[in-house]
Structure 1
Amino acid sequence: MIPVEVGWAATVQWMAGDTFCRVFAFFRIFGHYLSSFILVCISIDRYFAVVHPLSLNAADRRGKIMLTFAWFLAFSCSLPQVVIFHVENHPFHTFYVQCVTFNFFPSMHHEMIYNLFCLVMLYVAPLSIIITFYGAIVLTIFQKSRLSADDTTIRRSSLGYLGRARARTIKMTVSIVLAFFVCWTPYVVISLWFCFDRSAAELLDEKVKRGLFIFACFNSCVNPIVYGIFNFCKKKQPVADQ
């Protein structure tokens, strides 16, 4: 997606034809849908691993089902882009061609409903589900840690390990949710502004709009770094704690 975005910005107008306009419009949003839905799958997988550890035998099957559903849902949500986007010539300067949604929606209200649907599926619903499942994970960790602390038969070294594991899980959880929120919220706010007050939002510099869109794309780059930091960059534990 990014190379085409760069080429489109360099040429200003769309020069790849109507078919590729529709295909690019599909993949332009497909990656974002899939990224959000995969984050939801990871949060649900972590929830079952922590809250229902006895169901680990079904983890592989459950993971495949969730990933298949995530890809299918991302494909379904992106499919309207193929119909909505098309190539239009400028009404006065006919040599100027652009890949737009112009002249498709019957009214501004129809376009607003579609844009709100995209924002809900991209941001509101995934963020709500992620917060719900990770919140349940953190709550379960606190409850298990409290029960372990009350058990006088457990070793002190084990308590220390549980404390470190709990802190690491909570930090990773907060980092994932915060990264999703920070990367996507500015773009969502601008999009909502554009939906409800287009005349004022159009005064915003186009570079700012594109910058916020690219910043939202960074979320897909941040997540692997967060998981890597908390899962592969752990300090070596002292021998006494092992």
Structure 2
Amino acid sequence: MRTVTNYFLVNLAFAEAAMSAFNTVINFTYAVHNEWYFGLTYCRFHNFFPIAAIFASIYSMTAIALDRYMAIIRPLQQRLSSTETRLVVLVIWMLALLLAFPQYHFSSTASLPGRTVCYIDWPEYSGVDFRKVYYVCVTVLIYFLPLCIMGCAYTIVGVTLWASEIPGDSSQRYKEQLIAKRKVVKMMIVVVCTFAICWLPYHVYFLLHQFFPDLFEQRYIQQVYLAIMWLAMSSTMYNPIIYYCLNSRFRAGFQQVFCCCASTVGKEELELKSPRYLQTQMSIFRASRLEAAVSTSVPPPAAEIKTV
């Protein structure tokens, strides 16, 4: 399971699990009660971490898309090693923290009559509305740009994989590899589409809020925001379900961990589908063929030759 794709999937899972743990309930509580109970330090973290986590999530998906593109469209080019993959993950998080830093730096709390609020005190430089510029940049960098990159990559990969028919005289191993590649690409396309659908209303909401603030004086706008925010936060729970439904190796792993009655079956399926097992079987197959070839080419000993 330690492949380049799975390294990025682990990073994706970590980012989404962390956002679920540290932000989802706090954000929902603040939206419902409209009062901040958690102090200045957590106010800064609360505004800072979601941007970083979303950036890490979407660019992990982008890295997977580019890795699939290189593996399928340019198979002869050298793939990323495990060390290089970890370095890419580290760069993704550094850029994510850098992009989210303004939200940390300008976050503050204020005591209003009867309640405390957590907000971002955006500055203005030479009449430039820094808040609008920042939100437009964030939306482009963590939504539209990576989705465009992934859309182009998966379109090319999909056309290449599904347009090429499996030759009738091809080996069984070639057919299995092509089918496996199609399944992985199909799974990642579903993951990306789920992310795009869940986060699109959220980004549209904040862009409209920056440029048309009068629209947000309506009576039920708070309920609309809660629904949009809940949809966006729910994106962190769909990926394990998608992995389970569309990937047999993840399904076997989940069964091994969570189902005591199916632990033996899950372990056997994982072992049967592991690269080490396949390499062992190929080695045994080659050795048996070599032994058969030697036995047919070497004449039997003199003692075993029967005279007529």
TM range (shorter): 0.7 to 0.9
Larger displacement relative to structure 2 (184-193 or 71-80) = 184-193
Other-structure match for 1:198: 213
Letter in 2 for 1:128: C
Other-structure match for 2:135: 115
For residue 3 of structure 1, the aligned residue among 25, 41, 54 is 25
| Superposed displacement of residue 81, structure 1 | 0.8
Q: How does 1:158-237 map to 2 (within 5 A)?
A: 161=176, 164-165=179-180, 168-169=183-184, 171-203=186-218, 205-232=221-248, 233=251
- Deviation track 1:91-140 (CA, whole Å, cap 9, x = no partner) reads xx2x5321112464466832211111111122111211211222222133
Mapped pair 1:52 → 2:74: yes
For residue 99 of structure 1, the aligned residue among 87, 96, 118 is 118
Q: How does 1:23-62 map to 2 (within 5 A)?
A: 23-55=45-77, 58-62=80-84
Counterpart-to-counterpart distance in 1, 2:240 and 2:228: 21
Do the aligned partners of residues 206 and 228 (structure 1) sit closer, same or farther apart at CA in structure 2, a change above 3 Å counting? same
Q: Alignment identity in percent?
A: 23
Letter in 2 for 1:87: T
Other-structure match for 2:147: 127
Q: How many residues align?
A: 227
Q: Is the 8 A contact 1:88 1:99 kept in 2?
A: yes
Structure 2 residue matching 1:188: 3-state secondary structure: helix
Other-structure match for 2:285: none
Counterpart-to-counterpart distance in 2, 1:42 and 1:228: 18
Letter in 1 for 2:118: C
Counterpart-to-counterpart distance in 1, 2:181 and 2:230: 34
Task: Tell me the C-alpha RMSD between the 2 structures.
Answer: 2.9
| Superposed displacement of residue 6, structure 1 | 3.8
| Superposed displacement of residue 58, structure 1 | 3.3
Counterpart-to-counterpart distance in 2, 1:28 and 1:64: 22
For residue 140 of structure 1, the aligned residue among 157, 160, 163 is 160
Structure 2, unmatched stretches of 5+, are 1-22, 253-268, 270-308
Structure 1 residue matching 2:37: 3-state secondary structure: coil
Q: Is the 8 A contact 2:24 2:233 kept in 1?
A: no
Do the aligned partners of residues 135 and 34 (structure 1) sit closer, same or farther apart at CA in structure 2, a change above 3 Å counting? same
Structure 2 residue matching 1:86: 3-state secondary structure: strand
Do the aligned partners of residues 167 and 37 (structure 1) sit closer, same or farther apart at CA in structure 2, a change above 3 Å counting? closer
For residue 104 of structure 2, the aligned residue among 74, 82, 85 is 82
Structure 2 residue matching 1:154: 3-state secondary structure: coil
Letter in 2 for 1:34: A
Other-structure match for 2:286: none
Structure 2 residue matching 1:27: 3-state secondary structure: helix
| Superposed displacement of residue 193, structure 1 | 1.6
Counterpart-to-counterpart distance in 1, 2:122 and 2:74: 51
Counterpart-to-counterpart distance in 1, 2:123 and 2:206: 19
Do the aligned partners of residues 229 and 54 (structure 1) sit closer, same or farther apart at CA in structure 2, a change above 3 Å counting? farther
Structure 1, unmatched stretches of 5+, are 237-242
Structure 2 residue matching 1:15: 3-state secondary structure: coil
TM-score, normalised relative to structure 1 = 0.79
Counterpart-to-counterpart distance in 2, 1:55 and 1:63: 16
Letter in 2 for 1:141: L
Do the aligned partners of residues 52 and 202 (structure 1) sit closer, same or farther apart at CA in structure 2, a change above 3 Å counting? farther
| Superposed displacement of residue 142, structure 1 | 3.7
Q: Is the 8 A contact 2:35 2:115 kept in 1?
A: yes
Larger Rg: 2
